[in-house]
Amino acid sequence: MQTNAGDGQKSIVAELQFGAKTAKRVSWESWEFTVVGPFEVEVTNASYGYLKDDHSYRVLVAEVEAGILPAECECPADQYGEDYDCKHKVALAAVGGPTVLQAAVDFDPTPTPVRADGGCECDADSFPCFGCYLSGRRELPE
């Protein structure tokens, strides 16, 4: 396993199995990443321009002993390829990196809406929003 010179952490990319062709494609193409749910990232090949939505796949990530890794992709190459990981998983690990992977793990589907003054949009209402109620910031009225 390779080690990054700067921080002493093991390389995420070294945990994946892929060939030289996949490595070249990942480095040449343009990628966009959107965390869409807990442990789920949408990986889009933006090199296709206005057709990029047709080249967007969801990748599930997993926490394993080696760290947070791309685990499963919905693309045909990952579904039917047995020997190598797909370019979407490699791009997520290499280009998105630990920051995007950690964001997928930390994703909270129920964020509390916050105003600039630190309050919540629900402060003007008699009932709290679900986020404020769930966090204990506000109670239900009697």
**Span 74-133, pLDDT tens digits:** 999 988 877 889 999 999 999 999 999 999 999 887 766 666 677 788 888 888 888 888
Do 119 and 99 share a structural domain?
no
Asked if residues 45 and 55 have their Cβ atoms less than 8 Å apart, the reply is: yes
**What CA–CA distance (Å, rounded) separates 129 from 52?**
36
pLDDT digits (tens, 9 = 90+) for 8-33: 445 788 889 899 999 999 999 999 99
Query: Does one domain contain both 102 and 120?
Result: no
* The pTM of the whole model exceeds 0.85: no
Name, in order, each residue with C-beta under 8 angstroms of 39's C-beta and a sequence gap of 6 or more. 60, 61, 62, 104, 105, 107
Distances (CA, A) of 56 to 25, 37, 50, 100, 125: 15, 15, 12, 16, 39
Domain for residue 5, yes or no?
Answer: no
Full domain range(s) for residue 115: 110-142
Same domain for 126 and 77, yes or no, is: no
Q: Is residue 7 included in any domain, yes or no?
A: no
Same domain, 90 and 132: no
- Do 95 and 123 belong to one domain? no
Q: Is 6 contained in some domain?
A: no
